[in-house]
Amino acid sequence: MSDEQGTPQENPIEPIKNDIPAVEPLQTPPVTPPPFQQPPPFGQFGNGMGQQNLPNATAALVLGIIAIPACCFYGIFGLIFGIIAWVLGAGDVNKYKLNPAFYTESSYKNAKAGKICGMVATILSILTIVFFVLVIVGAITNPEMYDNFLKGMK
């Protein structure tokens, strides 16, 4: 500190002369500073505190699970929830693959699970809706057969 305070008067002249010496310290230090300079980027983005959860992982998981009871109540809600969970989960999986070091692995697993739950719920809802459509079409085109079908089931 005392040296720096003493030198400011000489500084206006020095920068021109110091250009050459200033390059050498940069070339030699790389042998020792890397341990100090490299770890921060890894510490920030790779290992610990800087990692984030994927933004939609939890939402995808929860929606994917809610989709099953929703599918059972009204059919169409299950389809909506399932597709939303699928899209959110797939988007987060892609995000993680683009930048794996930036997000936590557990949230990646959650996003993947949400995606698969969404897929399963979507398939179930589509099956349900197809069955509904078949029954409705059958009831409209062939009322007698539909009546017989119902009576037969009773």
Partner 1 sequence: MLTQQKSSVFDWLNRHFLSCPFKAHFGIDCPGCGLQRSVLALLKGNLPESFRFYPATIPLIILIIFTVIHLKVDFKFGAQVIKLVFTGIAVIILINYIYKIYNHLLIN
Q: Which member of 54, 63, 71, 93 binds partner 1 (CB under 8 A)? A: 71
Please give the DSSP secondary-structure letter assigned to residue 142. -
Query: DSSP class of residue 103?
Result: B
> Which residues sit opposite 52 in a β-bridge?
103
Q: What is d(CA 76, CA 128) in angstroms, rounded to the nearest whole number?
A: 9
Q: Which is nearer to partner 1, 36 or 73 (CB)?
A: 73
Looking at the Cβ atoms of 44 and 104, the one nearer to partner 1 is 104
In the DSSP assignment, the letter for residue 38 is S
Instruction: Please choose, from the candidates 112, 70, 65, the residue with its C-alpha nearest in 3D space to the C-alpha of residue 91.
Output: 112
Judged by CB under 8 A, does residue 87 bind partner 1?
A: no
- Assess 123 for contact with partner 1 (CB under 8 A): yes
Binding-site ranges for partner 1 (CB under 8 A) = 58, 61-62, 64-65, 68-69, 71-75, 106, 109-110, 112-113, 116-117, 120-121, 123-124, 127-128, 131-132, 135-136, 139, 150, 152-154
